[in-house]
Structure 1
Amino acid sequence: MEPYTTEDIFAYAKWLTQECRSAGLNAEQYGAEILIHGASNHLSERIICRPDDRNDLRWHWSWGVPIGRLDDSARLLAVDEVEELVRVISKVVCVPLRRGI
């Protein structure tokens, strides 16, 4: 398998950025990185697209862990599983704030 080019990675980042925006998230692309804010702008997350140890292209959370599925985090998402990626990202940046404890 040929290594991914910078252009490939940027194209995936652009695609995910657009899909996040379509889902109502504020997403800004910076090369292979995307900064995503929830609808309330109280929470944000930076994710990056890069190859893993086996040269599979994956999305990684800001703390370096690859992004997995909501129902089975051990199953890592492929870079083109955009709908599930948006769902997972939304769960992180759109957590409702607790009021009046």
Structure 2
Amino acid sequence: MKPYTAEDIYAYAKWLTQECQAAGLNAEQYGAEILIHGASNHLSERIICRPDEQNHLRWHWSWGVPIGHLTDSSRLLAVDDIEELIRVISKVVCVPLRRGQ
């Protein structure tokens, strides 16, 4: 498996940033990192694109854990699983606020 270049990683980050924006999330790209705010700007998350120990390019949460499938977190998402990535990210940054408290 060939090593990923900084240009490869930047291109994936740009793609995910654009797709998050198209899905209604406020996403800003900073190199290989993306800062994503939910629709209400109440919650945000910083994710980064980088190779894992097996040299598979993965998205990682700000706390360093690779992003897994929404219903099975042990199944890690590939860097190009954009639709599922957006679903998982949205669950983190778009938690509805409780009303009346």
Q: Please tell me the TM-score bracket, short chain as reference.
A: over 0.9
Report the equivalent of 1:37. 37
Mapped pair 1:79 → 2:79: yes
Write the letter of the residue equivalent to 2:97: L
Mapped pair 1:93 → 2:93: yes
CA distance in 1, matches of 2:82, 2:95: 20
Q: Map of 1:1-40 to 2, 5 A cutoff?
A: 1-40=1-40
Report the equivalent of 2:61. 61
Deviation of 1:61 after TM superposition, in Å, equals 0.2
Q: CA RMSD in A?
A: 0.6
Structure 2 counterpart SS, 1:45: strand
Deviation of 1:99 after TM superposition, in Å, equals 1.8
Size of the aligned set, in residue pairs, is: 101
Structure 2 counterpart SS, 1:15: helix
Report the equivalent of 2:52. 52
Identity within the alignment, %: 85
TM-score by length of 1: 0.98
- Which runs of 5 or more structure 2 residues have no equivalent in the other structure? none
CA distance in 2, matches of 1:63, 1:100: 32
Deviation of 1:100 after TM superposition, in Å, equals 2.1
Deviation of 1:74 after TM superposition, in Å, equals 0.4
